[in-house]
């Protein structure tokens, strides 16, 4: 192939539109994987990890090690969930999903644990929330 032929081939391929590959969870960052996996829990624990339902704890503000430990305890049967439906939802999570969710929790703010004191404009912990 001559130098001119090589340039022509390169010009041809550089002018083509990029291929669109189907996105998979393998292409996602750890935060995106965590957000996708957390959708499993969002129905009860809230989209942003802040539960608005009495008796259901917020995930926001939890330590990642706790999230991993708790989910593994549910998967191992050491902790029981309130329904078979919830157990089935957790069983679809693999190790990568669980760890990605735990990483995502780091960036979530527990809106219930801190209240702003409007007089002093400082953050005060709300000790009534566990």
Which residues, including other chains, have CB under 8 Å from residue 53's CB and lie 6 or more apart?
A: 44
Domains within the chain, CATH numbers bracketed: 26-125 (1.10.760.10)
Q: What is the pLDDT of residue 32?
A: 85
Q: What is the pLDDT of residue 126?
A: 46
C-alpha dist (Å) from residue 110 to 27, 45, 99, 105: 29, 11, 19, 10
Q: What sections of the chain are H helices per DSSP?
A: 3-14, 30-45, 64-76, 84-91, 95-106
Residue 68: which of 28, 30, 103 has the closest Cα?
A: 103
Q: What is the pLDDT of residue 4?
A: 92
Q: What is the pLDDT of residue 72?
A: 92
- Per-residue burial over 77-99, b if 16 or more Cβ lie within 10 Å, else e, is eeeeeeeeebeebbeebeeebbb
Q: What is the pLDDT of residue 125?
A: 47
Residue 45: which of 70, 75, 28, 78 has the closest Cα?
A: 70
Q: Print pLDDT tens along the chain (130 aa).
A: 899 998 998 888 888 887 776 655 566 788 888 888 888 888 888 888 888 888 888 888 888 899 999 999 988 989 888 778 888 888 888 999 999 988 888 777 776 655 555 555 554 444 443 3
User: Does the pTM of the predicted model rise above 0.75?
Assistant: no
- Contacts of 90-94 with CB under 8 Å at 24 or more apart are 90/40, 92/40, 93/37, 93/40
């Amino acid at each position: 192939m001559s130098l001119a032929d090589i340039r022509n081939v390169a010009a041809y391929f550089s002018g083509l539109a990029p291929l669109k590959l189907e996105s998979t969870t393998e292409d996602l960052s750890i935060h995106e994987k965590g957000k996708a996996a957390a959708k499993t829990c969002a129905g009860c624990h809230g989209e942003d990890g802040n539960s608005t339902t009495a008796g259901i704890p917020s995930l926001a503000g939890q330590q990642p090690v706790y999230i991993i430990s708790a989910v593994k305890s549910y998967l191992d049967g050491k902790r029981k969930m309130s329904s078979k439906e919830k157990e089935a939802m957790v069983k679809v999570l693999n190790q990568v999903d669980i760890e990605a969710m735990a990483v995502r929790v780091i960036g979530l703010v527990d809106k219930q644990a801190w209240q702003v004191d409007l007089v002093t404009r400082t953050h005060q912990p709300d000790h009534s929330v566990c």
